[in-house]
Amino acid sequence: MVSAKISASEYVYNQLKEEIMFLELLPGQSIIEVDTSKRFNVSRTPVRAAFNRLESEGLVLIKPKYGSFVTLIDIDEISDLMYMREKLELAVLMDVEHITKSQEVKLNVLLLQQLQILNSDIDKNDKAKKFLEADNEFHSMLFSLTNKENIWKKLSEGNPHYNRLRLLSNIESREGLFKIQEEHVKIKDALLNKDFDLLKEYYNVHIYEGMDNLANIVNNYSKFFK
């Protein structure tokens, strides 16, 4: 049911984007305009507008006379985004001058929530999704320490390839998720102690965490990659 508060196109766009980003619609999967129109009980015009918007964001590939497809994951795009993260995130954190007690408490709460997700009995796919959301929330909080959360938003939402790879990595490696959570703790402690040399060391490792298993992920999900 389309909400009266947003347009039909916006509603379809939001739903499809979430499904693509969380691999409910798989890379390479065909998405048919007519079927989508029936599914959301809207005309084809807002569906077409939603498809065009998703294409502009690199989430959908529209092939005239062939159809529309969820984009495949592009390793080159991921490499570029990781380079940007390494440079920008570290620069933002190096500008942190002071962490208030309330900010410290919030960071600790977010870290505890991550651990609770990892120790829960939920399905591994749901766990991977929830941890990715918690991971993003932690990094957003780090950026907020210098009032730069909008930069994190652009980084995290601006590359559908990287986000989908992170989710696949989360699904594949339970141990890897615990390691990521432990690195978050180390990053937080280094910030609190203003040990920027250690922070840089931790962060350079953290950015590429999970990518050690990239070859296995690509091999196991080869049809998802460009």
Summarize pLDDT for 130-178 with one digit per residue, the tens: 999 999 999 999 999 999 888 888 887 767 888 898 888 888 777 788 9
Per the CB < 8 A criterion, the answer to whether 184 and 111 are in contact is: yes
Question: How many domains are contained in the chain?
Answer: 2
| 226, two tokens | 């460009």
Supply the pTM of this predicted model: 0.83
Bridging pattern class, strands 60-63 and 30-31: unpaired
Q: Are residues 21 and 85 in the same domain?
A: no
Query: How many CB atoms within 10 Å of residue 12?
Result: 25
158 lies in some domain: yes
Domain extent for 199: 75-224
Q: Tokens 């460009």 correspond to what residue?
A: 226
* Model confidence pLDDT, tens digit, residues 74-108: 988 888 888 888 888 888 888 888 889 999 999 99
What are the backbone dihedrals phi and psi of residue 49, each rounded to the nearest 5 degrees, phi first?
-65, -40
Separation of first and last alpha carbons in the chain? 34
**Do both 102 and 195 map to the same domain?**
yes
Residue 3 within a domain: no
Residue 34 inside a domain? The answer is yes
In a domain, 120, yes or no: yes
| pLDDT for the residue 138 | 93
The pLDDT score that the predictor gives to residue 14 is 92
